[in-house]
Each structure stands twice: as structure tokens, then as C-alpha cells.
Amino acid sequence: MEFGISFLPDVAPETMSASEYYQGVLALSRLADRLGYSHVKMTEHYLHPYGGYCPSPLNFLTAVAAQTERIRLMTGCLLPSFHHPVKIASYTAMVDAISNGRLDVGYARAYLPYEFETFDVPMDGSRERFEATIAAVTELWTEENATRETPFFSYRDATTLPRSVQAPHPPTYVAAVRTPSSFSRIGELGHGLLITPGGLDMPADRVRAYREAFQPRTAAMPEPRVVASLPLLVGETDAEANRLADRYLQNYLDVWTSAVDSWNNVSSSDYASYSGMSRFLRTMSGTDLRLTGSAIVGTPDTVIERIHRFVEQVGQVDTILWQVDFGGMPYDVAAPSLQLFADEVMPKLAV
């Protein structure tokens, strides 16, 4: 199993400036590179403290590429529904070239109503738009003089530049949360799977369905791969780690709940189970995230035991990417946790 780091900004200007946030997560990326972590991942969101500090994961990952040597770079996730495929293919190939072939491209369907409204993209039909865009990007990476005509975009005789360093193209992953058919569909399309339990039930049956449905489409993803993202805080004592984590987990939960309040008066046939999300999250606390195993917290020995428990609940996981910026956690809290995990946990799990 590999271990990397994952970022999802959840701070507002009044709690942390953008410059302070970026400097902290870039420093954590450099530290993770030195300590042997496998990946650094950044998400895409807009208009709200939930993710709003990273409207462009590719811009951020370009900065990481310039400051690191070996760690892989992952978008987690790009939101294809808000972009033309020629731009996605071109921008991702550029980062792949700058990093000398270190990019993994993760996609998500987007789920926040205010983002769809702002970009004037209907939520109904977003699944079809999402799949059409990803298929077009893959074609643009690998073909010359490509032509597509869809209800969502069109282009003729397009040969994007630059071409990616990785052949035939960067590995691709797609995020899934709840709907069982989404997990199977990701496998059928030959993508890697991204999961973030986040207080929801552990999706063991859905992960299994993904693996059973997997059909390799290109050499970029020859076999199924599951990548999970979870908050992590490792401390010298369980009590101290719990005290710190619960505070930042509650901050994270509050910001996330505020973002999904936008579902309160919205419904969509493509998002049948999302309308009650805000009410569900309000029944939880930061402590609940820790107690349900949706966050991994404690001493190195406790963390090892909880990782084993998580894998038993979810099934085979190839990579865990630790969320280390949750709740506005500053560098001086996150860095010792990353160091302790690398020193005391990774060697024991590698045995």
C-alpha cells in the first residue's frame, strides 16, 4: 500500500490568508517528497471556503512539480463539466511535461448546486456531459486531428499540444461516493477509483463491484486501483492527537455543511440522494468522523490498528492519501504528524 497526501482547502480569508495557505501546503508537499510519500493531490472548487482556495489544481500542482523531485501529482479532482475537453487535455499534458511524467488525472462529476448555477451548466444531464468530456480528453491525448460533435461541445481536426510525457496518457481516476452504479461504471470505463468516506458508510460492496466490473481500456490503467482519502493526525499520545484532531475535524465539518446547504431547496434527477446531505451532516460532529473511522487519529500504534480496521471495512485499497490541511490545520501541526507517520508507521506497514 502506498501513502500520499491530499489537500482540500476549507478556510476563509478571515481565518487564513490565501498566501499563508499556499505557503503551508507547498511546504507540506516538499516535506512529503523528502519523506517518501507517493502522491500529493489537490481538488477543484469555487466560490466558498469549501475548496475555494483552489479553483485550479493544475496551477497548484505545477508549483509542486517545480519544488519536488519524485512525488506524483494528482488532481483530486478536476470538474470536467465546467471545462472544454481541449483545455483539459492541453493543460494536463502541460503539467505532465513540466513534471516529466508525474501527473495522475482524477475527475469528479461536481455536486455543489451553486457551482453549476454560476457556470450556467444544468445539473440534470451532468452525468452524460461528464462521461463525454472525459472520453474526449482521452481521445485528444492519444489521437491527431480529432473531431467530436456532442450536445455539450464540439471541435474539428484538433491536435492538442503539448503531448503528454506518459504513454499513452496519464493514469485516470474517477471519484464515487454513494451510488452503487457509479462504482461499477467507473470500472467498466477502465478508470482508477477515488473514494472519500467522509462520515458515510464504508463502501466495501461498492469497491468490490468496481473491481469486478473493471475492464482495462488503455495501458495507462491496466488493472483496477483504489485510492482513498482520509484525514490524518498522528501524535505522541492518543489524548493529545484526539484533542487536536477533533477541533480541526469540527472546523472541516462546519465548512463542508455550509457548502452543502445549497442543496436545501434543490433537487436533480442526476443527484437523487443529495438533497438531504446537509441535514445528515448536521447530525454529526468532528468527533464522530474520528470514531466512525472516517478520520485516522492517534499514536503510531493506534494509527496502524485503525488503518488495518479501515481496510477490513472497505476492502483492498492500493493507496491512502492523507488529508493534512483539514479544518485549517496549520503547517506546524500537520508537519510533525506527517513526520511521525513516515518514521513510525510506514516502515511497519511495509513489512
Comparing C-alpha atoms, which of 187, 86, 83, 194 is closest to residue 137? 86
By three-state DSSP, how is residue 104 classified? strand
- The pTM assigned to this predicted structure is 0.95
Model pLDDT, residue 285: 87
Model pLDDT, residue 276: 72
Model pLDDT, residue 337: 98
What's the CA gap between 189 and 173, in Å, rounded?
Answer: 10
Mean of all residue pLDDT scores within the chain: 94
> Has residue 36 got a pLDDT over 80?
yes
CB 322 within 8 A of CB 230: yes
CA atoms within 13 A on the CB side of 17: 3
Model pLDDT, residue 267: 84
Task: Work out the average pLDDT over 107-120.
Answer: 96
Model pLDDT, residue 25: 98
How far apart, in Å, are the Cα atoms of 275 and each of 147, 250, 260, 270, 271?
Answer: 37, 22, 9, 11, 8
What's the CA gap between 216 and 179, in Å, rounded?
Answer: 22
Model pLDDT, residue 201: 62
Percent share of the chain, pLDDT over 90: 83
Range 228-240 burial, b when 16+ CB lie within 10 A, else e: bbbbbbbbeeeee
Task: Work out the average pLDDT over 248-266.
Answer: 92
What's the CA gap between 10 and 326, in Å, rounded?
Answer: 7
What's the CA gap between 293 and 313, in Å, rounded?
Answer: 9
Comparing C-alpha atoms, which of 70, 32, 343, 17 is closest to residue 7? 32
Task: Work out the pLDDT band at 27, boundaries 50, 70, 90.
Answer: very high
Q: How many CB atoms lie within 10 A of CB 213?
A: 17
What's the CA gap between 158 and 182, in Å, rounded?
Answer: 30
By three-state DSSP, how is residue 334 classified? helix
Give the range among 41-50, 104-113, 157-166, 270-279 with minimum mean pLDDT. Answer: 270-279
Model pLDDT, residue 200: 56
Model pLDDT, residue 293: 86
- pLDDT tens digits for range 189-235: 999 999 998 655 667 899 999 999 999 999 999 999 999 999 999 99
Model pLDDT, residue 192: 98
List the grid coordinates of 260.
452543502
Model pLDDT, residue 198: 66
> Has residue 108 got a pLDDT over 60?
yes
Give the range among 9-18, 97-106, 129-138, 170-179 with minimum mean pLDDT. Answer: 170-179
Model pLDDT, residue 174: 98
Task: Work out the pLDDT band at 351, boundaries 50, 70, 90.
Answer: low
- pLDDT tens digits for range 52-68: 999 999 999 999 999 99
Q: Which residue has the higher pLDDT, 282 or 137?
A: 137
